Amino acid sequence: TTQSPILADSKGVAGVKGTDSERTFIMIKPDGVQRGLIGKIINRFEERGYKLVALKTVAPSKEMAERHYADLKNKPFFPSLVEYMSNGAAPVVWEGSDVIRQGRAMLGATSPLDAASGTLRGQYCVSIGRNAIHGSDSFESAEKEIGMWFPQAGELISWTPAIWNWVMS
Ligand code: ADP
């Protein structure tokens, strides 16, 4: 994958694991977009204190959706998952301490039945096939997913929030 020039000094697009430069890939899925939940989901990460470093909308090709969910290709719901994803999504990259694990915790369990009520899925979703958001489940996934959804140099921004030291230190 093409790396942004701003990351030339780090290992890759997901920053450095275990530091406050760690990054995760979050994607508001088509049901989240069409229900008007983009702002609410973004807001939850902003208010938590994480730093937004990339954001866009995209109509994923079948190939992109298949690549993103390649691990699930033998599941019976794979074709419908790929079809659903092609409706349009909003990929986002967040940066900050422990953002991969804490981002997953903010999403809640995959199945809304198991998602705690304070989580995004617990608050907004009732169906496993319409669970509104994706989040990287490991550093390796974050590296792969940020690279595939934001492949161009210059798509990730580098900046220091004024309150950063009061949030991450
Ligand atoms: P997560 O999104 O929490 O990482 P998985 O990687 O297991 O979960 O699954 C990816 C996505 O596939 C889920 O978010 C969900 O949209 C869909 N999915 C998972 N299990 C099912 C299922 N049993 N039926 C329909 N869709 C499913």
Asked if the structure places residue 51 within a domain, the reply is yes
- What pLDDT score was predicted for residue 11? 52
Asked if the structure places residue 163 within a domain, the reply is no
pLDDT digits (tens, 9 = 90+) for 87-143: 999 999 999 999 999 999 999 999 999 999 999 999 999 999 999 999 999 999 999
Asked if the structure places residue 164 within a domain, the reply is no
| 134 in active site | yes
Read off the CATH number of the domain in which 141 is found. 3.30.70.141
ipTM score: 0.97
Pocket around ligand 1: residues whose beta carbon is below 6 Å from it? 72, 77, 81, 110, 128-129, 131, 134, 137
Asked if the structure places residue 70 within a domain, the reply is yes
- Model's pTM, two decimal places? 0.93
Residues 6+ apart with CB under 8 A from 28: 37, 38, 41, 89, 90, 92, 132, 133
Domain range for 107 is 13-149
Asked if the structure places residue 32 within a domain, the reply is yes
What atom of ligand 1 comes closest to residue 110's alpha carbon? 3
Asked if the structure places residue 25 within a domain, the reply is yes
Please count the structural domains in the chain. Answer: 1
58-97 b/e (C-beta count within 10 Å ≥ 16 → b)? eebeeebbbbbbeeeeeeeebeebbebbeeebbbbbbbbb
Asked if the structure places residue 23 within a domain, the reply is yes
Compute the distance from residue 152 Cα to the ligand 1 centre, in Å. Answer: 28
Q: Looking at the predicted structure, is the pLDDT value of residue 10 above 70?
A: no
Asked if the structure places residue 29 within a domain, the reply is yes
